[in-house]
Amino acid sequence: MEKNLRQQLIEYFATHYNKAVENIEIQPTKPQFEGDLTVVVFPLLKVVSKKPADLAAELGDYLTAQMSEIVSYNVVQGFLNIEIAPSFYIKALEQIQSDSSFGFVKATPSSSKILVEYSSPNTNKPLHLGHIRNNLLGAAVSNILAANGNNVHTTQIINDRGIHICKSMVAWQKFGNGETPETSGLKGDALVGKYYVLFDQQYKKEMATLVASGEDEETAKNNAPILLEAKDMLVRWEQKDKAVRSLWEQMNAWVYDGFDATYKRLGVDFDSYYYESDTYLLGKETVEEGIEKGVFFKKDDGSVWIDLSEDGLDEKLLLRSDGTSVYMTQDLGTARLRFTDHPDLKGMVYTVGNEQDYHFKVLFLILQKLGYDWADQLHHLSYGMVDLPSGKMKSREGTVVDADALMTEMHNTAKDISQELGKLDGMSTNAKDALYHTIGMGALKYYILKVDPKKRILFDPKASVDFAGNTGPFIQYTHARIQSILRKASSKNFDAELVDSVHKKEKAVLKTILQFPATIESAAKQYSPALVANYTYELVKQFNSYYQEVPILVEDSNMQSFRVALCREVAHVIKKALGLLGIDAPERM
């Protein structure tokens, strides 16, 4: 309907005013006014010099004469509010029923291939609440891009080397007594994380001892024996010392097993993996290329830099004077590697917290200056941190919220609330347990994804598992309610010609359903699952308002079939929308 309205208006201005109009703003009519769609007339005054109300009325008369679907219009200042005939919505429901992929665009072999990177953890600790937001955003954006007809490839780069990894290794050697996941009963990532915390505790003790003996604090920070051991271990790792590499491989294997269990529970996966231990030397070839092109320059000490001052930035180091690379060097090489691995790649999305905004701004700019034609197809999915009421999390101090512990808490909270409601009689213990997981994970995912990625989140587990308000369980419960209706109703198709009226509440629901494809398209363009989440909440609100006021299972069999069909399509859209967010829609709650 919006497309047809725009086309009619474009033709009108071309034939009546000999003017080319491209951008015509059409939006849903605000609830306080009568109408379904609103044409914003003010921008058109630049094309035709008239009073806003006069031009709006002129366009209203024209559209009413040209389009049988328009039954009336009204003008409020510079806004043309158009009312659409009920028959349009009835036919729309018929069409939606016959389109199993409604809202989604199917990918083809020629569709754009987009790589989405997310998670990318360090192998010195388990995943925590911050990682959960990263994973949920990356997975949801991947789903949304795929729903828009793209071929999506998910990946991560695992930060499996460096001083932080060596800290856990040194602490395990000193204090572990051969402890393993099997002997300790801990998940592998939790076990390694335990020694990362132990390292920090021992480091602080040794620093305090050195300060007490007369050293200044800065010297003590650098000379603590356990830190010197970790630095020595890193040197030996880079020299490929067999004993160090063997321990490194063993402890990383523990961590990977732990990560896999967490990912499975969280419901995310990846098509490929990159490892920093394989890629950290990449980029030196890119640096040489940049020097030859005059994009980079060498200083007297042999270090390599790029001057971005003309772009409003500063000088950026790319290679140290001793020839060693920095993170920027590695990221330049990894970007090239990925486009080599995927020659048909059309874009890449990096899901990384907003503390790295500057890094990615510089990375993308350097790649553009090097002349890579794909450099303008890169996007940093920047997101805010997740805080708790107790404050910011710190891994090395052991004050993070462990992802596994949080998911267990969500499961148990969902169990407690469900048992209080007492609506699961007759379900087996296994079925109940699966439902508690579905509700708990739905609560967690929705609470995080309903917030715009750029905003910081204060996460409250109890508030997220609420069966009322803008929460995952509220939306899941509405889906389950609809399934209950469908179990009681006939599945007979309705005859559109015999539906002679549409209740205003039904119309509101249908209007919201019809916004689903545009919502998915906007969510992909903005890389924002929050648009899908909040759209779903709006649809659920509209449906519940309809359900409270309009009886579904009426005596008129055709009207009942129409209303049941409407309920069914609401459930379909809820399930699809939740699916994009990685949330299951239960049949019963």
* Structural domain harbouring 9: 2-84
Asked if residue 95 is part of any domain, the answer here is no
Q: What's the total number of domains in the chain?
A: 3
In a domain, 467, yes or no: yes
| CB contact set of 417 (below 8 Å; sequence gap of 6+) | 439, 465, 467, 473
What is the reported pLDDT for 396? 46
pLDDT of residue 393: 43
Check: CB of residue 449 under 8 Å from CB of residue 136. Answer: yes
Query: Quick one: DSSP state of residue 80?
Result: E
Query: What are the tokens at 205?
Result: 């003790």
Give the model's pLDDT for residue 384.
Answer: 95
Query: Would 99 be classed as within a structural domain?
Result: no
Domain end (from 387, 414, 441): 387
pTM as predicted:
0.92
Sign of CA dihedral 64, 65, 66, 69: positive
> Is 589 contained in some domain?
no
Start-end of H helices in 450-528: 461-464, 472-488, 504-514, 516-526
Residues 6+ apart with CB under 8 A from 556: none
Regarding whether 270 and 160 lie in a shared domain, the answer is yes
In the predicted model, residues of the chain with pLDDT beneath 70 are 389-400
Structural domain ending residue among the three candidates 319, 353, 387: 387
Q: Are residues 413 and 439 in the same domain?
A: yes
> 311-317 — which CB contacts under 8 Å span 24+ positions?
311/365, 313/361, 313/362, 313/365, 316/362, 316/366
| Same domain, yes or no: 343 and 257 | yes
Domain-located, residue 18: yes
User: Are 365 and 428 contained in the same domain?
Assistant: no
Q: What is the pLDDT of residue 288?
A: 93
The reported pLDDT for the residue numbered 524 is 98
In the three-class reduction of DSSP (H, G, I as helix; E, B as strand; rest coil), residue 47 is classed as: coil
CA nearest to 125, candidates 310, 312, 258: 258
Same domain, 257 and 361: yes
Determine the Cα–Cα distance for residues 483 and 242; give it in Å rounded to an integer.
60
Do 429 and 379 fall into the same domain? Answer: no
**Are 320 and 234 members of one domain?**
yes
Residue 57 lies in a domain: yes
Q: What is the pLDDT of residue 390?
A: 61
HSE of 52, CA atoms in CB hemisphere, 13 A = 12
Per-residue model confidence (pLDDT) at position 395: 44
Same domain, 415 and 291: no
Question: What number of CA atoms fall less than 13 Å from residue 314's CA on the CB side?
Answer: 4
pLDDT at 366: 97
